[in-house]
Amino acid sequence: MTTPFFKLLVFGIGNLNLALPIKSVHKVLRYKPIYGSGVQPVGVTHLGDREVTVVDLHRRFFKSSQTDLSNSSRYLVIVKNTTGELYGIPVANTPSLEEVPLSQIRILPESYRRADTLDVASHVAVIPQETTPLTVFLLDVDLLLPIFQELAVAL
């Protein structure tokens, strides 16, 4: 019997390892300029003939930007939610594609999601590696932006 695998795009944000299901990833680009007020951890970038909302997860989770990185070493992961809207996520280093056994992916407890800034993560995966297993939080692309819409309503 073969073990079912799930393909994930894995990347680091601060001291966190995050992942997206590969089916949610539209493309990965070199970093592009992001425009916005700078008040919220959200901006916009130009992608061809359309505008894409960019969610700065580093700023969202850690309340600071990644100013120590040059734009040439950064990437923009473009994801598509279930309604077809595109979002960008700036990442510091090249994301990697990992095949994770389905048995290594577990749902995060609701109590943890409510208590931590990782409320945009739905599952956690343990990726076997040579030395220490890598713990990765799987993002739910449908939760990336509603948090900002709630913020705007509250202001």
The domain ranges of the chain are 5-154
Please state the length of the chain: 155
| CB-based contact 75:29 (threshold 8 Å) | yes
pLDDT at 32 over 70: yes
Instruction: Dump pLDDT digits (tens) for 112-125.
Output: 887 877 888 999 99
8 A C-beta contact, residue 13 and residue 91: yes
Joined tokens for residue 48:
């061809």
pLDDT tens digits, one per residue of 69-123: 556 679 999 999 988 999 999 999 999 999 999 999 999 998 888 787 788 899 9
What is the structure's pLDDT at 90?
Answer: 94
Domain 5-154 has CATH 3.30.70.600: no
Measured distance CA(12)–CA(27) in Å, rounded: 17
Residue 23 CB contacts under 8 Å (≥ 6 apart), including other chains: 7
- Pairing mode, if any, of strands 25-30 and 75-80? antiparallel
pTM of the model: 0.85
